[in-house]
């Protein structure tokens, strides 16, 4: 079965969801048949790579594969790749009536500093015959000389309406049934990442043609918000043992890691109606214990300690 991420990938810029202002500017490049070097930055699953391929399709039509090269910088991140593969493609002449080729460097923030400096020189030398599109999650990891050579486009996480509208179209094509709560659950779990939302929907559809909220949380291994809310409330009210038991039961039920659990706790604290001073202290503790987990501390021990801090803060400690 083909992945829906590929099956329903937009082919033209008009089909790119949730990035209206960016798409409008990119369409002007295609209509003018010219463009500068581009830098796309933003979270995963927001349309960066898709927009780059749509630009190539718009410029070159059926010849787009011959004039477009995509390379993943996280796999090929050294200076040799820039001096070899990328340089060889950049120096050749394009086919068709567009006088430049396009190179997409996916995950460009994984390039080493030496590779980025070599890339800067390549961008200068072959500016007439090649345009670069750099796609990254963190533009701060791209050196300033490259950023100054590019028009920067910052992609945002997709809003709830955009994700749900897109999913509704796929549900109709795949002849599925999904209620409103299920679609909201998909958005909550995906966090505005459309690729993740599609994968969750497809995984759920493989289990049942009737998709509900419970199925989404089960497939995504994501605890129900009400369960995490109860954990936080119990800890703050002084029921440490009950909060601990419920948290670990939830983790086992959904297969959550310590990092998954603490991120959901953080999300829940932000949504709860708590005194601002208390909320700030809770978030400070969450950040500290999340850092400890990332550094390799035992996750169950750290979650015990975090709930203990919630207990103390809830009692004015």
- 80 alpha-carbon distance from chain centroid: 29
C-alpha to C-alpha distances, 259 to 56, 294, 299, nearest whole angstrom: 39, 8, 8
Query: Among candidates 314, 137, 296, which has minimal Cα distance to 232?
Result: 314
Per-residue pLDDT at 93: 80
Number of other CB atoms surrounding residue 122 within 10 Å: 18
Query: Among candidates 157, 221, 138, which has minimal Cα distance to 195?
Result: 157
The C-alpha atoms of residue 116 and residue 127 are separated, in whole angstroms, by 16
Per-residue pLDDT at 312: 93
Question: In the chain, how many H helices and how many E strands?
Answer: 17, 7
Query: 194: Cβ–Cβ under 8 A, 6 or more apart, which residues?
Result: 17, 18, 45, 46, 47, 158, 163, 166
Q: What is the pLDDT of residues 84-111, one digit of tens each?
A: 677 778 778 878 788 899 989 888 888 8
Per-residue pLDDT at 202: 93
Per-residue pLDDT at 109: 86
Query: Among candidates 295, 237, 300, 233, which has minimal Cα distance to 265?
Result: 233
Per-residue pLDDT at 144: 92
Query: Among candidates 109, 166, 168, 183, which has minimal Cα distance to 142?
Result: 109
Q: What is the mean pLDDT of each run of 10 residues along the chain (317 residues)?
A: 82 88 93 93 91 93 88 63 72 83 88 84 85 91 91 92 91 91 92 91 92 90 91 93 94 90 92 90 94 93 94 82
Domains of the chain: 4-154 (3.40.50.300), 160-220 (1.10.8.60), 225-314 (1.20.272.10)
Q: What's the pTM value of the predicted model, to 2 decimals?
A: 0.83
The C-alpha atoms of residue 157 and residue 194 are separated, in whole angstroms, by 9
Per-residue pLDDT at 88: 78
Q: What is the pLDDT of residues 182-195, one digit of tens each?
A: 999 999 999 889 99
Per-residue pLDDT at 292: 94
- What percent helix, strand, coil does the chain show, rounded to 5? 65, 10, 25
């Amino acid at each position: 079965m083909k992945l829906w991420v590929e099956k329903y990938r937009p082919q033209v810029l008009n089909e790119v969801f949730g990035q209206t202002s960016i798409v409008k500017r990119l369409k002007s490049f295609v209509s003018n048949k010219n463009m500068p070097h581009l830098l796309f930055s933003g979270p995963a699953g927001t349309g960066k790579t898709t927009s780059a391929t749509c630009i190539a399709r718009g410029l070159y039509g059926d010849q787009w594969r011959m004039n477009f090269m995509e390379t993943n910088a996280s796999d090929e991140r050294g200076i040799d790749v820039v001096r070899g593969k990328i340089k060889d493609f950049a120096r050749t002449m394009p086919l068709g009536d567009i006088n430049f080729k396009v190179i997409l460097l996916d995950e460009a923030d994984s390039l080493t500093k030496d590779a980025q400096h070599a890339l800067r020189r390549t961008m200068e030398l072959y500016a007439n015959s090649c345009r670069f599109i750099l796609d990254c999650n963190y533009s701060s990891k791209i050196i300033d000389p490259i950023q100054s050579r590019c028009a920067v486009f910052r992609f945002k996480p997709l809003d709830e309406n955009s994700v749900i509208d897109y999913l509704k179209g796929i549900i109709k094509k795949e002849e599925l049934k999904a209620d409103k709560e299920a679609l909201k659950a998909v958005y909550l779990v995906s966090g505005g990442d459309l690729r993740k939302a599609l994968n969750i929907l497809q995984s759920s559809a493989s289990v049942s043609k009737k998709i509900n909220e419970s199925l989404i949380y089960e497939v995504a291994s994501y605890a129900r918000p009400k369960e995490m809310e109860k954990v936080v409330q119990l800890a703050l009210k002084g029921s440490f043992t009950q909060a601990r038991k419920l948290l670990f039961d939830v983790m086992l039920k959904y297969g959550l890691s310590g990092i998954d659990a603490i991120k959901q706790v953080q999300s829940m604290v932000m949504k709860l109606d708590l005194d601002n001073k208390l909320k700030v202290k809770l978030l400070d503790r969450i950040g500290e214990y999340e850092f400890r987990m990332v550094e390799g501390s035992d996750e169950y021990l750290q979650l015990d300690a975090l709930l203990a801090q919630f207990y103390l803060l809830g009692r004015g400690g």
